[in-house]
Amino acid sequence: MSTFKAPKGTYDLLPPDSAAYLAVREAIAAPLRNSGYGYIETPGFEHVELFARGVGESTDIVTKEMYAFETKGGDRLALRPEGTASVLRAALEANLHKAGNLPVKLWYSGSYYRYERPQKGRYRHFSQVGAEAIGAEDPALDAELIILADQAYRSLGLRDFRILLNSLGDKECRPAYRAALQDFLRRLDLDEDTRRRIDINPLRVLDDKRPEVQEQLAAAPLLRDYLCDGCKAYHEQVRELIGAAGVGYEDDPRLVRGLDYYTRTTFEFVHDGLGSQSAVGGGGRYDGLSEMLGGPALPSVGWALGVDRTVLALRAEGVALDIPAATSVFAVPLGEEARRELFAKVTELRKAGVAADFAFGGRGLKGAMKAANRSGARFALVAGERDLAEGVVQLKEMESGEQRPVALAAVVDELRRLLG
């Protein structure tokens, strides 16, 4: 056993459980690739200012949860706590918006880091798949992303999730709501840290999950009562498009997201089987973020879905993913000549697209067959000196135990036929 352990709040992904995480990532990415989204990958760390500007200096993410450090050269960097700011920074830096084909549609997958109290379903290192549509103000884009996330979840077999939907207004109508909300919040019995947020960003107070705070917020003014005509019409179009696609949702007038850059459409995917940490993903429109980062006006929308939390939701529903075995054929050589011949066949099978493994280490027949069973292989190839003298190998069907000789020269074609 190693003297080292994974840092607190992190985890290792190991087989066979890691296969479920890979399957979830693929299921989320598949509808994005089919809808014009190209893959983007950004560094695991960025300049601190990127997140302070984009995510918001008043958010817990920036003030309490971000892993920030100073390099030997004096640069202030941070491990990325979320994906949107990095993706938009990369798109602006590469001038993707100047190619004349807006929106720029991108998807990404990776690990993110936040220093928070570890608990089930909430870690300091977590995995997300995200999507961003940059450079177009169109309710159909908002609807598209919500529909694609719903499609991804349903392709995995998830059923007991809900989509919460709200509008946060824009720079035209939110100031009036902000003032009304500040007046309301200043009359409440709140701690000093929360009262500080009233002046910086009062919407963050609405996102406070503490029961004693939520109880006082029951009578808080609702943003939907302050929406301008443009935001109302935009939100209604999003609702109509989602509904027409057969995607169910719930209007949640109190829904706000934990990041400062959201405007208009905001949404969250929740699963009640996860307890208090019920969110499995979410996102929304962020029309002013590009300008916050020093870029041109590029209205945009996106989401991020938690891979870890999606796996927990699948377990809560008892959904077993149909994950193919890592190995279809396991070769068991008996003797040096068989070792050379079967290793060559394993290489040939792999080139033909068949998942194949080999009994390494010179173990005996009994130990090699145990390894074949553990691998989950459907077939075993067994050969000794007598088999090779006859020009055959023994093909064993692992589940039934049936075994028959197959010509060595024909075994690859035979296995391809059997495996489809």
Q: How far is CA 410 from CA 290, 320, 349, 389, 394, in A?
A: 61, 36, 12, 15, 12
Residue 238: both structure tokens together: 């999003």
Q: Is 11 annotated as a binding residue?
A: no
For residues 235, 37, 112, 285, the Cα torsion angle rounded to the nearest 10 degrees is: -20
Angle subtended at Cα 53 by Cα 51 and Cα 58, rounded to the nearest 5 degrees: 85
- Residue 226, SS3 per DSSP: helix
Give bridge partners of residue 358 from the DSSP assignment: 331
Q: Is 132 annotated as a binding residue?
A: yes
Q: Is 9 annotated as a binding residue?
A: no
Q: Is 226 annotated as a binding residue?
A: no
Q: Are 274 and 313 in contact (CB under 8 A)?
A: yes
Q: Are 198 and 183 in contact (CB under 8 A)?
A: no
Give bridge partners of residue 128 from the DSSP assignment: 110, 306
**Among candidates 105, 113, 154, which has minimal Cα distance to 130?**
105
Q: Is 114 annotated as a binding residue?
A: yes
Q: Is 277 annotated as a binding residue?
A: no
Q: Is 82 annotated as a binding residue?
A: yes
Q: Is 39 annotated as a binding residue?
A: no
Q: Are 71 and 140 in contact (CB under 8 A)?
A: no
CA–CA gap between residue 223 and residue 237 (Å, rounded): 18
Give bridge partners of residue 110 from the DSSP assignment: 128
Q: Is 402 annotated as a binding residue?
A: no
CA–CA gap between residue 284 and residue 89 (Å, rounded): 18
Residue 82 has a CB neighbour count (10 Å cut-off) of 21
Annotated binding site: 82-84, 114, 128, 132, 257, 261-262
Annotated binding site for L-histidine: 82-84, 114, 128, 132, 257, 261-262
